[in-house]
Structure 1
Amino acid sequence: MNTHVSQGQVEAVLVQTPLRRFARAFSQSRLAMLGLVLFTVIALAALFAPLLAPQNPYDLMQLDIMDGRLPPGSRSATGMVYWLGTDDQGRDMLSGILYGLRISLLVGVCSALVAAAIGTTLGLFAAYAGGRIESALMRLVDLQLSFPTILVALMILSFLGKGVFNVILALVIVEWATYARTARASALRERRKEYIEAAICHGASPLRILFGHLLPNCMPPLMVIVTIQVGRAIALEATLSFLGLGVPVTEPSLGLLIANGYQYMLSGKFWISFYPGLALLATVVSINLIGDQLRDVLNPRKRS
């Protein structure tokens, strides 16, 4: 009987075992799985919005002002059924939500990833360099975190103006400090360990130490923060758009859809704001459920 096992097979087993344990631990939470399924459905709906949406809500040739503010379930003169009603411009609310999810997810994911890249790099560099460089960077982080996030974002957008790129840039500026502080705290614990000293003694370059040794061991808390910050960025974008300083009216988002129906709430046209708000709530809650379970799985104190 041949019992020979190649080195590649051994490495594959060693890699797959932590992944299987992680998947098993993550799947133990029903709320986390519910959040994962819900977010997957939302992400796929946003990705395939042009195929799923009954109309392009921002194509003026497909809109009819006479269909404005129709209640859910109404039928247009052309026979189209507005399952979630229409807004004041005659846009189908279901189509608006599907297209709005694309912008909201784009802003949330891009801002979180860019802020994570910048903040993590600065945090790792501060922990590795130490001294005055670390002190200066941490004082900058403390200054950033001392101001209310929404206030700083409003000030930046009032200067830059509306636009998806400007919103992403504003959110990156207000979010990078959180990653920098977390990365620095994690890197300080790893910096004193023997494998870092051994890498330095063997002449490893600073970039090799930062991104080859420190970063992989600092990833668990950073992954949790990225997950939660995506939901937070989506909520912030919705707030900024609701206040009129987010995305322009030609680029839909959930916050802008909510703002469009706010003035009609007292007149009984609740669906214009209610359904986009429900979609926003479902998106943020699903992301937070994933982040909460991810935090528990990656927390070494809770591992069996």
Structure 2
Amino acid sequence: MSMTVDPVRTVRRPASSRRLSRFARQFFAKTSARISVACLTLLVLVTLAGPWITPQNPYDLTSIDFLDGRLPPGSESATGMIYHLGTDNQGRDMLSAIIYGLKISLGVGVLSALAAAAIGGSIGLFVAYKGGRIEGLVMRLVDLQLSFPTILVALMILAFLGEGIFNVVLAIILVEWATYARMARGATLVEKKKEYVEAAECLAVPTRRIIFRHMLPNVVPALIVIATLQVARAISLEATLSFLGLGVPVTEPSLGLLIANGYQYMLSGQYWISFYPGVALVLTVVLINLVGDRLREVLNPKGAK
């Protein structure tokens, strides 16, 4: 007598899915990581939903009353609108202006950090693998650029290019690519000595495939950590440039320009024009840095303190 047994199929998740799940558990193991990610996500959602949730469009001249300029927090306009954070010197609602300005600051920071990571990371990865004179030449250029203050180089570039969001992004890319190039070079030199690279070279695998298919995935975690931290740095740099009048135009002010608009009124007691955009800027930078520090702890446990 034969007995038929139904086969039991064991469904396993792909290795990439398991790694992602393990990374998520490690990352969110700390309460500070959960809080920072939740707050940062809420901040991003608020900025994306800005046109629908803000009480006014601060850059629509038809919705601005100049007679409401520099009203303190909690004031009410003639139309019954309450300015919870007050108004600036042009009569714009500060809450609406901060949400719109934060969207520009985040956009500039994320876009410039990603572009600089792609450019600098690719250059560092390539020159480290090839070695020789090209590596020496590129790294001397990197050392030369990093020897100058970042803000000074950015000011020189914008003095030549002029103001504008695209020019600000380009200037930040030009001053930040060297950081990624140096980091990618260091990580590539470590990977270059490993057996899988030597095996690929013995099998005559094309250089492009060795670099971008085999070595790049092992270099990316270090670049992700640096890119996250550099987003906060780029936001701060853009705010500084806008504060100095060489950043985004006045028609699309970021947090830095909002702070600059109220700077001259600080001594007269009208603190809210600069204070609240400054709080939003500091809060955003701190949250991004917390996320970046946690990524560094998880992706590079040996380097975490």
The alignment's TM-score, normalised by the length of structure 1, stands at 0.96
Q: Which residue of 2 aligns with 1:201?
A: 202
The structural deviation recorded for 1:300 is 4.1
Paired residue for 1:123? Answer: 124
Q: Distance in 2 between matches of 1:236 and 1:144?
A: 16
**5 Å matches for 1:64-83?**
64-83=65-84
Q: Which residue of 1 aligns with 2:287?
A: 286
Kindly provide the CA deviation profile for residues 211-252 of structure 1, in whole angstroms up to 9, marking residues without a partner as x: 101110011111100000000000000000001110110012
Give percent identity, aligned residues only.
65
Q: AA paired with 1:177?
A: A
Confirm or deny that 1:103 pairs with 2:108.
no
For 2:59, what is the secondary structure of its paired residue? coil
For 2:289, give the aligned amino acid. N
- The correspondence of residues 83-162 of structure 1 with structure 2, limited to 5 A, is 83-162=84-163
2:51 alignment counterpart: 50
* Alpha-carbon offset, residue 16 of structure 1: 2.2
- For the pair 1:2 / 2:3, whether they are aligned, the reply is no
- How far does the alpha carbon of each residue in 1:136-179 deviate from its partner, in whole angstroms, 9 at most, with x for none? 11111101100000000011111111000000000000000000
Judge which range, 273-282 or 191-200, deviates more. 191-200
Count of matched residue positions in the alignment of Structure 1 and Structure 2: 299
Q: How far did 1:76 drift? A: 0.4
CA offset digits 1:242-294 (Å, max 9, x no partner): 01110110012000000000000010100000110010011000000000010
Q: C-alpha distance in 2, partners of 1:202/1:25? A: 37
Alpha carbons 1:138, 1:181 under 8 Å: kept: yes
| Cα distance in 1 between the residues matched to 2:173 and 2:15 | 37
Contact 1:156/1:170, CA 8 A, preserved across alignment: yes
Whole-Å Cα distance in 1 between the matches of residues 131 and 303 of structure 2? 31
1:94 and 1:179 map into 2 onto residues whose CA distance is: 36
Determine the C-alpha separation between the residues in 1 that align with 2:153 and 2:241.
11
Q: Distance in 2 between matches of 1:162 and 1:301?
A: 42
Instruction: Pick which of 193-202 and 172-181 moved more.
Output: 193-202
CA apart distance, 1:301? 2.6
Gaps of 5+ in 1: none
Q: Secondary structure at the match of 2:250?
A: coil
- Structure-to-structure mapping, 1:223-242, within 5 angstroms: 223-242=224-243
